[in-house]
Homo-oligomer: A and B are copies of this chain.
Amino acid sequence: MTAVIDTENQPFPLVIRYLGIDTHQQPTVYLRRNSHVCKAEGFASASRVQISSEQATIIASLNIVDSDILASGEIGLSLSAAHLLKAPERSIVHVCHPKPIQSLSHLRHKVYGHHLNDNQMDSIVSDIVAGRYSDVHLATFITACAGKNLDQEEIISLTRAMLHAGDRLDWHTSPVVDKHCVGGLPGNRTTPIVVSIVTACGGVMPKTSSRAITSPAGTADTMSTMTEVELDLPVLKQVVQQEGGCLAWGGSVHLSPADDILIRAERELDLDSEGQMVASVLSKKIAAGSSHVLIDIPIGPTAKVRSQADAELLSDLLMTTGKALGLTVEVICTDGSQPVGRGIGPALEAQDIIKVLKNQADAPQDLRERSLLLAGKVLEMAGLAPQGQGLRKAEHTLITGAAWDKFFKICEGQGGFKKPTVAHYQYSWCSPLNGVVSAIDNRNLAKLAKLAGAPEDLAAGVTLEVKLGHSIRIGDPLLVIHAESPGALNYAIEFLTDRPDIIKITP
């Protein structure tokens, strides 16, 4: 190929070499230490550099290379750098110092505890979406916004900024409904059931979900075990037009792309931020074209929200922020004292969902009841059932098989229904004594499922064999760990052995 090179301004053409190194979300490029460009530009390791191809201009982190995995006139690209730069191997690029990132002064402002206005928040979020923030900058932003460090105004600014930074869908109809659970309750996978019931009743519920942040599974992870969730916009629109709803991953349609970047960084930190959660949830809902959203807040001693008072604060933030952006938000507080359903992990939760939708005798009753409660509320919000009649209508839709039919059709529309897979390794953990199940530690249970490999290993996780209040005899199974590798299984068993109180049996 022939590249037009302006030898005056860009004196160091470099030839692209795909190094096939997966650096996770941080785009990274590699240059030889003795290359002309490093000497001339004064680059050092961890420098941020700007790379321009004919196709795109990106900012990446630099790793300096002393060995011959790279020649002096070459620039190595990590997988994410290659993906963003869109330039073919062996083509020519140019490298220079990037302009200083203007929004970093706003970021420091926030770190020092000051208030950010609309413009400052906008500039931070645009820089994040443009890929200008390194992992370290992202961690700083997340930390500076964590806990209660954002006030109501800032949460509105952040929500608006996240909304503006991505696409926005318009369904040319109203109401468009949605539901969301603030999480923290393993296995609480009601969404696919609610969407099936509501759309079977004629509602419009184009559901786009996240992957897991700090939990062992997100709705998108669970759905990905049963159908395709990475839909491009035309396919997504077609499914919604045909079925009234969908169950897709939000990231593939470029809604609130800042959220996807922040979520991946939060996952590594295992940090949740109240303000960022509100902005994340609501910007996604508005971007997805919703007019009404029902938010489920489970409350329990080891759930994400621990008390009624915390739930009320969060509820206020959600409703006030929603109102400022023209979205009707209703909140429902539910029991968060123990996991919902049996499975914890993408495929294991999918199996519970299928059982409920198919009205199977061994379907988890708590998942069924909770889904009906939420579906009933959404039907009422959408005007599809009179106040007080939603639950009955939801139940009828489930029992008649209309909900399963609709779920199957949505999956078919998204590329076909498939059965969730089963993990290769299992380990049953049995009770060491007779007694009653007196406490279940949601947080450590979620951790256990993650150590077993969830959500990356779709079939991995935990199935819970008991509920609070159950009477247990020595040797009764309490839970089963499912893993895709012996290493992950052993790691989870070791964790469990150190924490036998994860399921507390009182004699």
Contacts and interface: CB of A to CB of B under 8 A. Distances in A.
Contact of A67 (B19, B42, B97, B453): B19
A352 interface: no
Listed residue (A66, A96, A139, A495) with the most chain B CB atoms within 10 angstroms of its CB: A139
B66 A113 contact: no
Number of copies: 2
Interface in A243-272: 265, 268-271
Contact of A111 (B21, B40, B147): B147
A491 B46 contact: no
Contacts of A270: 104, 108
A143 B148 contact: no
Contact of A21 (B65, B112, B142): B65
A67 B18 contact: yes
Interface in A32-47: 33, 39-42, 44-46
Interface stretch (A22-30, A115-123, A318-326, A396-404): A22-30
A22 B42 contact: no
A311 interface: no
Contacts of A309: none
A130 to B, nearest CB: 19
Contacts of A111: 143, 146-147, 271
Contact of A23 (B19, B25, B63, B144): B63
Contacts of A488: 41-42
Nearest to A44: B456
A380 B44 CA distance: 44
Contacts of A332: none
A135 interface: yes
Contact of A456 (B42, B97, B112, B147): B42
A486 interface: yes
A19 B147 contact: no
B136 A269 contact: yes
Interface residues of A, number: 64
A41 B456 CA distance: 12
Given A22-B63, A147-B112, A457 B136 contact: no
A94 to B, nearest CB: 12
Interface in A483-503: 483-488, 491, 495
Contact of A41 (B18, B112, B137, B485): B485
A149 B460 CA distance: 40
Contacts of A271: 108, 111, 140
A63 to B, nearest CB: 5
A20 B136 contact: no
Contact of A139 (B39, B143, B149): B143
A6 B147 CA distance: 46
A69 interface: yes
List 10 A-B pairs, minimum CB-CB distance, nearest first.
A20-B67, A24-B46, A41-B487, A20-B66, A143-B143, A139-B139, A22-B45, A112-B147, A42-B488, A22-B64
8 contacts: A19-B67, A21-B65, A22-B64, A42-B487, A96-B487, A97-B491, A113-B147, A136-B139
Given A23-B46, A97-B491, A113-B149, 10 more contacts: A19-B65, A19-B67, A22-B45, A69-B69, A113-B147, A134-B268, A135-B139, A136-B138, A139-B140, A143-B143
